[in-house]
């Protein structure tokens, strides 16, 4: 690995970590209350190795096959997050390798995860994806759909529903995304109970993570701001 690439990754990672810490302070939250998932889907494998060498362990992939391939190639203590759409026929492939599935976008998918997890003797941690903006281009449960299905969703014994995930619309002003992030937090607060507290809110990316942190994000998914164009795949 080139010294230049490693130095670039070090600078980018430090800047993002500082940005997260600053947003936490501004929101009156502990600086360690937000987890950074480095979205590596467009990054060269060598860049992922470099970020690992710098001490980072949580990486997000959108494609199940690439997640599995990289999990087999890279150190075993990496925590892999699936952040993209998961087809039901790929569930069994990805379950042995994934730390957290952020993108459970339907009850049918949750059922499939439960079935495959039972066969594999696993208990995967998942987030339910919610389309809070109502955009047709986005996957996920509509808020009212999730409210209606919620009692049934809690009956699957082989999955752990840890919280919710969303993507805000692409907006010129990142702060304009705050109402969408607030809707996810409010929905989480509505559904959570003492028995099922839903501690995880996965929301915020490179352009709007500060707004997401202001509204309660506990996980931010950041790719370009960490890896930069220098580390991108063609």
- The predicted pLDDT at position 61 comes to 98
Instruction: List C-alpha distances in Å: 172 to 24, 169, 204, 216.
Output: 22, 10, 15, 21
User: pTM for the whole thing?
Assistant: 0.95
Residue 164 has pLDDT above 70, yes or no: yes
DSSP class of 228 = T
C-alpha to C-alpha distance for 8 and 34, rounded to whole angstroms = 23
| pLDDT of amino acid 232 | 53
Residue 115 has pLDDT above 50, yes or no: yes
Q: What is the average pLDDT score of the chain?
A: 95
Pick the closest to residue 161 from 121, 117, 215 (CA basis): 117
CATH class of 3-231: alpha beta
pLDDT at residue 203 tops 50:
yes
Token pair, residue 122, equals 């696993």
In this prediction, residue 228 carries a pLDDT of 84
* pLDDT above 70 coverage of the chain, percent: 97
pLDDT band at 11 (very low <50, low <70, confident <90, very high): very high
Query: Is the predicted pLDDT of residue 32 greater than 80, yes or no?
Result: yes
Radius of gyration for the alpha carbons in the chain, expressed in angstroms and rounded: 17
Q: Which residues make Cβ contacts (< 8 Å) with residue 130, sequence separation at least 6?
A: 140, 141, 142, 143, 146, 164, 165, 166, 184, 187
Return the pLDDT at 170: 87
Q: Which of 159, 174, 97, 93 is nearest to 128 (CA)?
A: 159
Asked if pLDDT for residue 107 goes beyond 50, the answer is: yes
Residue 231 has pLDDT above 60, yes or no: no
Q: What average pLDDT does this structure show over 102-126? A: 98
pLDDT value at residue 230? 54
| Percentage of the chain modeled with pLDDT above 90 | 91
pLDDT the model gives residue 234: 37
Tell me the pLDDT tens digit for each residue of 132-154.
998 888 999 999 999 999 999 99
* Ordered DSSP codes for 56-121: --EEEES-HHHHHHHHHHS-TT-EEEE-S---GGGHHHHTTTEEEEEEE-SHHHHHHHHHHHHHHT
Compute the half-sphere exposure of residue 233: CA atoms within 13 Å on the CB side of its CA. Answer: 11
For residues 200-219, average pLDDT: 97
């Amino acid at each position: 690995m080139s010294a230049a690439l490693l130095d670039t990754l070090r600078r980018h990672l430090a800047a993002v970590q500082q940005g997260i810490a600053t947003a936490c302070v501004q929101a009156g939250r502990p600086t360690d209350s937000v987890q950074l998932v480095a979205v590596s889907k467009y990054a060269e494998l060598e860049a992922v190795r470099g970020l690992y060498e710098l001490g980072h362990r949580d990486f997000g992939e959108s494609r199940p096959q690439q997640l599995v391939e990289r999990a087999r190639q890279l150190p075993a203590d990496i925590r892999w997050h699936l952040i993209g759409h998961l087809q039901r026929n790929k569930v069994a492939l990805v379950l042995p390798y994934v730390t957290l599935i952020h993108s459970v976008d339907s009850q049918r998918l949750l059922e499939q995860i439960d079935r495959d997890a039972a066969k594999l003797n696993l208990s995967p941690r998942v987030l339910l994806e919610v389309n809070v903006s109502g955009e047709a281009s986005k996957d996920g449960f509509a808020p009212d759909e999730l409210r209606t299905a919620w009692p049934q969703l809690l009956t699957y014994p082989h999955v752990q529903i840890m919280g919710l995930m969303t993507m805000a619309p692409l907006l010129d002003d990142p702060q304009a995304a705050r109402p969408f992030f607030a809707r996810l937090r409010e929905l989480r607060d509505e559904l959570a109970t003492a028995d099922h507290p839903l501690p995880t809110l996965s929301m915020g990316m490179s352009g709007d993570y500060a707004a997401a942190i202001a509204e309660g994000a506990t996980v931010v998914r950041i790719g370009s701001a960490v890896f930069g164009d220098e580390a991108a795949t063609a």
